[in-house]
Homo-oligomer: A and B are copies of this chain.
Amino acid sequence: MSTSPKAALLEEYALVAQALAAPARLMILEHLAQGESGVDRLAAKTGLSMANCSQHLQQLRRAGLVTSRKDGKAVIYRMTDNRTLALMDTLRIVAERNLARVAVILRDLSDGQDMPDPVSRAELAARLAEGSVTVLDMRPVDEFASAHIPGAVHTPMDTLDRIAASLDPAAEIVAYCRGPYCIYAHQAVAALRRLGLNARRLEGGLPEWRADGRAVATLE
């Protein structure tokens, strides 16, 4: 006599939630959303030790959120599908709307300035088509190289001031980064607006852009 089917189902659902219930694993998922990756690269990106990162990845795999394949001596992990992206996004939305602490952190990120609503991906696509917008990609160079929004200017945080100086004050600027869990775009927009520039944040990041089926460019 095993457990009831109801209890068994709830345990499985809880297992999936459990997989999302550690900051380290959310971080890993954010990076996997950029594209598949081996363990050591993920460990380096997230700052976790190899063994720890490997164990988190196995927990994510047990919950069905990622899958893996072997490639030579490397094991390449990838997100199972972008339903996981939807799950993470709903998680974020619930946290933002229901937890005062989250609202405070987000407000602090913009240094008390009023921030305009983010630009939808559809709107950005339309503006790009008519060439009426400057797009800034705030991610590290390797992520920019592997995929970015066509025409985007690579602007890692440490180059922001320099690039900001070269921007036309009248231009409309849209900044994006890894996605809704990434704060680079928030910080960039806050900094640019403090300089008097007309900057807004893209809704979502590159993974969401790609999930919409929109074109991306790569370097080389």
A positions within 8 Å CB-CB of B:
5-18, 20-23, 26-27, 63-65, 80-81, 83-84, 86-88, 90-95, 97-99, 101-102, 105-106, 108-109, 181-183
Contact = CB atoms under 8 A, between A and B. Distances in A.
A99 B16 contact: yes
Which of A20, A63, A109 has the largest number of chain B CB atoms within 10 A?
A20
Given A5-B109, A105-B8, A109-B5, A13 B95 contact: yes
A31 to B, nearest CB: 12
- Which 3 A/B pairs are nearest by Cβ-Cβ distance? A64-B98, A17-B20, A10-B23
B183 A16 contact: no
A20 B14 contact: yes
A76 B99 CA distance: 20
Contacts of A94: 16, 64-65, 83-84, 87
| Copies of this subunit | 2
A61 to B, nearest CB: 10
B16 A95 contact: yes
Contact of A90 (B7, B86, B99): B86
B9 A102 contact: yes
Contacts of A80: 98
11 contacts: A5-B109, A8-B101, A8-B105, A10-B26, A13-B23, A13-B88, A13-B95, A18-B18, A18-B21, A21-B21, A83-B98
B14 A26 contact: yes
Given A65-B98, A83-B94, A91-B87, A23 B5 contact: no
A5 B83 contact: no
